[in-house]
Structure 1
Amino acid sequence: KSVPGTRNQFTVQVVTTGQSKVFDCANGTVFDQQACVCVNDMDYTMRPTVPPMRRTTRISVDPLVPTTRPLCRPSFALDFNSKPIADSSNMQVYVRNEGVESVVDAGQFNKQAQLNIPMFSWLGHKMTVKFRFFEWDGGDREQTLFANCQHSIAGRRGMGSIEVMLRSATKEVVFRIKTKGSEMREIAVPYPTKSWKNVTLTYDGKYFKGKVNDREATVQVRGNIESRSEGIYIGQCPRNGPGGSKRAYVGYIDDLKFYKCVLPEVPSPELFVDRNPV
């Protein structure tokens, strides 16, 4: 007879001795009390199920290679929320301020004001710059947003080896780079007027990219960025000789971050690429 509480076990009792023994039906069968045999189980919900096999993928790990990437943190940052204006990163970088005011938590530049960060005369071959700006009328034809320009020396113009300039006549942001392995390269990205614009500059040792909002342009470059002894200027450059222009900016700049590394970024759908080899 069947064992109470089960469907696939039954007992057999020996009449002469009175002893009984429990037996199991085969997989997929149950004990039929009336027929006194194990029959096929027609109730599929009661059939035993076999868990699916899982294939494991073995990944070889090189013990000499670090498993985590180093974090890319700002080398200095300006959020313009403090008075006086100071580096808001953890690096406590010295910022020389000549007339820049913090207005509504943004830096106000009035064509006479500038910031100078002298620490970064050498930039290397990896960098990222991010900030946003809102321009006003009254600046020079080309205006300094971020550059390592310098005073002219021995008749040479004080051009920077890295520059982000505002070209007001054509409504473009101009990105320039000069490395030890390449000539000066320039790319220009148009910008909408009278609104906040997000700007990103990146250089990874091979490609130089400038981005304004969702529009970007890229050129091939190689080598370390040339050094400039006076560091980074924001708002205007030193005068490039008698009668020269300081390329002074009029407007607001905010949330500026400078990295000596390359931040990962999702590619933009609107990409202009200069594929000419350097």
Structure 2
Amino acid sequence: MNLSGVCLGILLGIFGISIELVSSQGCITECGGGLSCLLPYNCTHFDQCHSTDAGCSCTRLMCSFGTFFSAASGVCDTVSKGLCDEDPCLQKQRDYTYPSNFNCRSFYQCNNKGRSVPMCCRDFYRYDYELQECTPDVSCNISCNQREGQEYYNLSADQLMATDPYECFFRPISGKPNKYYNEVAKIEQDCADSTFYNPEKCGCDMIAAPAGTLRAPRCRPLLHVDFANDTVVNLRRDVYINAQNTDIQASGMEGVQYGLFNGRNSFIEIPYLSGIALDKFFIRLRFYSAAGGGAEDQVLFSNCESTISRTATDTSELPQVYQRPSMAVILNKPSRLLTFIAQTDTSPKTIIRLPFLDEGWNNVEMVYDGKALTARIRSVSPDGTGVEEKDTKILSGRLLASKFTPRIGVCMTERDAFFGYLDMVKMYDCIPADLPMM
């Protein structure tokens, strides 16, 4: 770890506390010339450092279950990408297991490629490291991706990747694709062999052609659920999801099924998105709001609680479900309005409201591309007439990371649970090149 002059004994202290590293230059030494940075500690933990008047302050944070910290991208990413050179499975045999240290149910198993795979015991079973298996334990009743001992909306600092305003101090150099200029250090610096400077990542990666022309990586959905199987599964197999109390219901048409959300405790969790500040975000879903159940305000998607609460639109009179998240799509039954919420580290909370068709199918998109928030709904009225609503508001910065695991269907049980059907959900941390409405 690149923490020059720092006492390792201090760093090995309690996770989640802030450590002041006295330096007259802030974090320039620790961060390789920058004023702030994220530094790897091990596969599941990293240090978030930023300059203060006293020097350099670092806080140890923990990735969510099923993700390892990537020094290249500065986020906790799916373990299947093999981003951690300290993966315990590199030194272990296939099928060896080890605890996640996240909760009693979750653990990792080594695959045939020497990499960790996130696993979870079934309800009321505990992972036993000595026996290398799951054993019965009635006290082990916790979601696979919930941190042991943490209460809802009361998560400790090591679960949260704080998102202070971010500025890139590196600049591309014309004609030198494998170099960049460090404005803080006032020097040219080299990328590693076979990598090229990518301004979008504020770092070097392998997506540039030798001539220096950036080649856009393929934009794949993090989440793709079509409810076509016997159980709720993510078609993006390397991104873990946790589906609870979400039933699959036949539509009456061959090959077409829906996900039924009961208005009480049905949800789909996406742990991968916990504690990540996103530069871009895109969600597409198709829903049917049913009569006869559910609260007035119902969550279609939300990260449930963010790090800061600043709003361009006054939400003080609204329920907490609107005030807490930095990303959300929430329907209000009485008004038949969908509320789209986005909040970044440099801008107040931005809100768009559009009408939806009650007791009918609605195709919904929310797009944040780093420059603007766009919301769109298309529905078909009972007489067959297509209706489309769309609005865009200027917005920039990184979407604030959440304190809670983002969910589809509910944040606070029953108080904001969705009652109805979902036909399809797709979620991206990039913007697909082709954006036709469904």
Whether the 8 Å CA contact 1:100–1:108 is kept in 2: the answer is yes
- For residue 201 of structure 1, report the CA deviation from its aligned partner: 0.7
Q: Deviations over 1:205-226 (max 9, x none)?
A: 1100111013211111111111
- For residue 152 of structure 1, report the CA deviation from its aligned partner: 11
> Percent sequence identity over matched residues?
27
Q: Give the one of 167, 170, 182 matched to 2:332.
A: 167
The residue type equivalent to 1:119 in the other structure is Y
**Residue 200 of structure 1: aligned partner:** 365
The number of aligned residues is 198
Whether the 8 Å CA contact 1:150–1:237 is kept in 2: the answer is no
- For residue 150 of structure 1, report the CA deviation from its aligned partner: 4.2
**Residue 120 of structure 1: aligned partner:** 273
Q: Deviations over 1:152-171 (max 9, x none)?
A: 99xxx572110001111111
Q: Is residue 383 of structure 2 the alignment partner of residue 228 of structure 1? A: no
- For residue 266 of structure 1, report the CA deviation from its aligned partner: 6.4
Q: Deviations over 1:179-202 (max 9, x none)?
A: 111111110111122221100110
Q: Deviations over 1:43-100 (max 9, x none)?
A: xxxxxxxxxxxxxxxxxxx93214x5332211121111123211112x4322222211
**Residue 141 of structure 1: aligned partner:** 296
Equivalent residues in 2 for 1:81-160, closer than 5 Å: 81-89=228-236, 91-104=237-250, 105-112=257-264, 113-121=266-274, 122-137=276-291, 138-150=293-305, 157=320, 159-160=324-325
SS in 1 for 2:272: coil
Higher gyration radius (CA):
1
Whether the 8 Å CA contact 1:149–1:237 is kept in 2: the answer is yes
CA RMSD of aligned residues (A): 2.6
The residue type equivalent to 1:96 in the other structure is N
Distance 1:98 1:182, change over 3 A: same
**Residue 45 of structure 1: aligned partner:** none
Equivalent residues in 2 for 1:33-52, closer than 5 Å: none
* TM-score in terms of structure 1 length: 0.65
Q: In the aligned structure 2, how far is the partner of 1:144 from the partner of 1:87? A: 20
Q: Deviations over 1:206-254 (max 9, x none)?
A: 1001110132111111111111132211111135xxxxx6311100012
Whether the 8 Å CA contact 1:123–1:260 is kept in 2: the answer is no
SS in 2 for 1:205: coil
Equivalent residues in 2 for 1:223-262, closer than 5 Å: 223-238=397-412, 246-262=415-431
SS in 2 for 1:119: helix
Whether the 8 Å CA contact 2:287–2:361 is kept in 1: the answer is yes
The residue type equivalent to 1:100 in the other structure is T
Q: In the aligned structure 1, how far is the partner of 2:325 from the partner of 2:403? A: 10
Q: In the aligned structure 2, how far is the partner of 1:92 from the partner of 1:79? A: 16
- For residue 133 of structure 1, report the CA deviation from its aligned partner: 0.2
- For residue 178 of structure 1, report the CA deviation from its aligned partner: 1.2
The residue type equivalent to 1:215 in the other structure is E
Instruction: Report which structure shows greater RCO (CA 8 Å, sep ≥6).
Output: 1
**Residue 216 of structure 1: aligned partner:** 390
Q: Deviations over 1:97-139 (max 9, x none)?
A: 2211011221100112112112212141101100100011222
Distance 1:87 1:267, change over 3 A: closer
Whether the 8 Å CA contact 1:163–1:177 is kept in 2: the answer is yes
* TM-score in terms of structure 2 length: 0.42
Whether the 8 Å CA contact 1:76–1:92 is kept in 2: the answer is no
Equivalent residues in 2 for 1:19-38, closer than 5 Å: none
